[in-house]
Structures are given as structure tokens and as C-alpha cells.
């Protein structure tokens, strides 16, 4: 791996992990005060699971985007824009669900996020299948998170 490629990998890692860090800014207070008070759907994992899972997913996302960049450079601008759009939607979900404490609106947003991830994975597949495969755990986790979000919304409507 040459220096430019290594620096771009670090840049993608920094961007994805920064999005996760910014998302945790929205969640920090609510996870301690609001979230523990909510009724939770069956299958809700313990709180300690979320940090390691999301960190792993952000690393996989970064590697996927980097593989596209490494193969095509900025010639894959459209694919990378889709990637960054879904990353922005990911961050927005944290702000809506935890920051604003609006699980109903967050559910509709996570559906849009799911579609954006699926579309990004399809585009990545056309360009470099392994990059798309790296997004599969993320899509599966967001599917599970959608179930949790819907359940939290339904169980806690007032």
C-alpha cells in the first residue's frame, strides 16, 4: 500500500469514526436519563453491546468506501456521495432518536437510512463486490435497529 492510499484509508476511518463520535454526543445524555426509562421490545440487547458493534460497523464502512476510492479514485464520485449521504442519515438518526427523543420520526428516518444503505451497497457491488459485502453487517444491524426503534416507539407512545 502506498502512502497516498494509506492516508486515504486513515481519512475514511477518521470520517466514519467521527460520525460515530458525533452521534454519541447526541446519545450520551439520553442513554443515561431517557432511554433506561423506556419500555423495550423483546430482543433488546444490553446497552454495552452498542458501542463495540457500532465501532466495528464504522470501520467496515470506512474500508468499503476506501476500497471504492482505491479502485476508482474520485472517478467514483457518485458512489462515494451516496456513501456520505447514508453516513449523514446515520448521524441524523442519532440526533432525532436520542437528541430530540422522537422515536416515531426516527423510525421513518431509519427506513430512509436503510434504503440509502441498500442503494449504496448495490452501487458498490457494481464497482467492487467486496466493498458491498462489507456493508452487509451494517445493513443487517440497521434492520435490527429498525425493529428496536419501531418497538420503542409503539411501546412508549403517549
Residues near 69 by beta carbon (within 8 Å), at least 6 away in sequence: 8, 12, 76, 80
Q: What CATH number does residue 148 fall under?
A: 1.20.1260.100
pLDDT at 158: 74
Instruction: Note the pLDDT tens digit of each residue in 101-134.
Output: 999 999 999 999 999 999 999 999 999 999 999 9
Grid cell digits, residue 88:
449523514
At residue 128, what are phi and psi to the nearest 5 degrees? Answer: -160, 100
Q: DSSP alpha helices (H): ranges in 33-102? A: 50-72, 77-94
Total domain count, the chain = 1
Q: Which helix (H) or strand (E) holds 6?
A: helix 3-32
Parts of the chain with a pLDDT under 50 = none
**Which range marks the domain in which residue 28 is found?**
3-155
Q: Give the Cα separation of 63 and 14 in Å (integer).
A: 11
Q: pTM value?
A: 0.95
pLDDT at 26: 86
Amino acid at each position: 500500500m502506498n502512502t497516498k492510499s494509506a492516508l486515504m484509508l486513515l481519512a475514511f476511518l477518521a470520517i466514519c469514526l467521527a460520525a460515530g463520535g458525533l452521534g454519541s454526543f447526541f446519545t450520551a445524555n439520553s442513554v443515561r436519563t431517557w432511554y433506561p426509562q423506556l419500555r423495550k421490545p423483546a430482543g433488546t440487547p444490553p446497552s454495552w453491546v452498542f458501542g463495540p458493534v457500532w465501532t466495528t460497523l464504522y470501520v467496515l464502512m470506512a474500508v468499503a468506501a476506501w476500497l471504492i476510492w482505491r479502485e476508482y479514485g474520485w472517478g467514483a464520485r457518485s458512489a462515494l456521495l451516496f456513501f456520505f449521504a447514508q453516513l449523514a442519515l446515520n448521524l441524523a438518526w442519532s440526533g432525532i432518536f436520542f437528541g430530540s427523543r422522537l422515536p416515531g420520526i426516527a423510525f421513518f428516518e431509519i427506513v430512509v437510512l436503510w434504503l440509502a444503505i441498500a442503494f449504496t451497497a448495490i452501487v458498490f457491488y457494481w464497482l467492487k463486490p467486496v466493498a458491498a459485502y462489507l456493508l452487509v453487517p451494517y445493513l443487517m444491524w440497521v434492520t435490527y435497529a429498525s425493529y428496536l426503534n419501531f418497538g420503542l416507539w409503539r411501546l412508549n407512545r403517549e
